[in-house]
Amino acid sequence: MSTYLHHETHFQSSDLLRDIVIGMADGLTVPFALAAGISGAVAGSAVVVTAGVAEIVAGSIAMGLGGYLAAQGEAEHYNSELVREEQEIIEKPQAEMDEVAELFRQYGLTEQHYGGVIDGLKGNPLAWRDFMMRFELGLQKPDSRRAGQSALTIGGSYILGGLVPLAPYMATASAAQALPWSIGVTLMALAVFGFVKGSFTGAARLKSALQTASIGGLAAAAAFVLARAIS
């Protein structure tokens, strides 16, 4: 039982963590690369800040609402599959029994092993439905508050992340002067973020730090070169 509870907790905190990671990874990277790209083509910081703020607003809304709709879509998908499984159990119990048997046969089990489970589920259609949802379809009941929470977490993390690379452009009138500061603080922030992310997800922390910083650096370099080339 304690193991089960442990896993449940693990699942929930990883949802929150995943939302922060999704928002902050892009929030640190895209406005940073955009600002660097514009710096390669335009002299004044004002344009960079305007574009950067527009990007942060657009990105946080797109990602936040995108997260909201994704979570809502998951909940709708769960409910429609629930109704379908319920009907199938009533209308085609034999086919559903075959599906349960097939699940167990994949693990080398025979009817002698899983026959009892089928007998038990037949006596309790609601439990049978829930069993199919989780074990056949791999779906778990979504938390109804998750959609809104997910939207705010992703959007907020994006804004926080996006303000880091823009800060130097807000402090200096020359984009060329702000650029190295923006590169410095953002690569540092990306590395710290990657390190912390690695600690939570169990990945190697230094490797994770290097990866997030590399993606940001690569995106910024590519944006810089292309924006300069076309302007």
Instruction: Give 114 or 181: the residue with its C-beta nearer to its own copies.
Output: 114
The CB-of-152 to its own copies minimum distance in angstroms stands at 15
Instruction: Give 30 or 164: the residue with its C-beta nearer to its own copies.
Output: 30
170 Cβ neighbours under 8 A, 6+ residues apart: 45, 49
Asked if 130 is part of the footprint of its own copies (rule: CB under 8 A), the reply reads yes
Residues 107 to 126 in contact with its own copies, rule: CB under 8 A: 107-110, 112-117, 119-121, 124
Asked if 26 is part of the footprint of its own copies (rule: CB under 8 A), the reply reads yes
Tally of CA atoms within 13 A in the half-sphere of 188 that contains its CB: 8
| Per-residue tokens: 160 | 């926080």
State the number of binding residues for its own copies (CB under 8 A).
Answer: 83
Confirm if 42 and 178 have CB atoms less than 8 A apart. Answer: no
Please identify, among the stretches 131-139, 141-149, 174-182, the one whose residues bind its own copies according to the rule CB under 8 A: 131-139
The CB-of-77 to its own copies minimum distance in angstroms stands at 7
CA distance 108 to 182: 58
Tally of CA atoms within 13 A in the half-sphere of 159 that contains its CB: 11
The CB-of-65 to its own copies minimum distance in angstroms stands at 5
Strand partners, 44: 174
Asked if 30 is part of the footprint of its own copies (rule: CB under 8 A), the reply reads yes
The DSSP output letter for 141 is: P
CA distance 206 to 146: 31
204 Cβ neighbours under 8 A, 6+ residues apart: 198
Among 173, 176, 203, 206, interactor with its own copies by CB under 8 A? 203
Asked if 8 is part of the footprint of its own copies (rule: CB under 8 A), the reply reads no
Residues 144 to 173 in contact with its own copies, rule: CB under 8 A: none
Residues 49 to 78 in contact with its own copies, rule: CB under 8 A: 49-51, 53-55, 57-59, 61-63, 65-66, 69, 73, 76-77
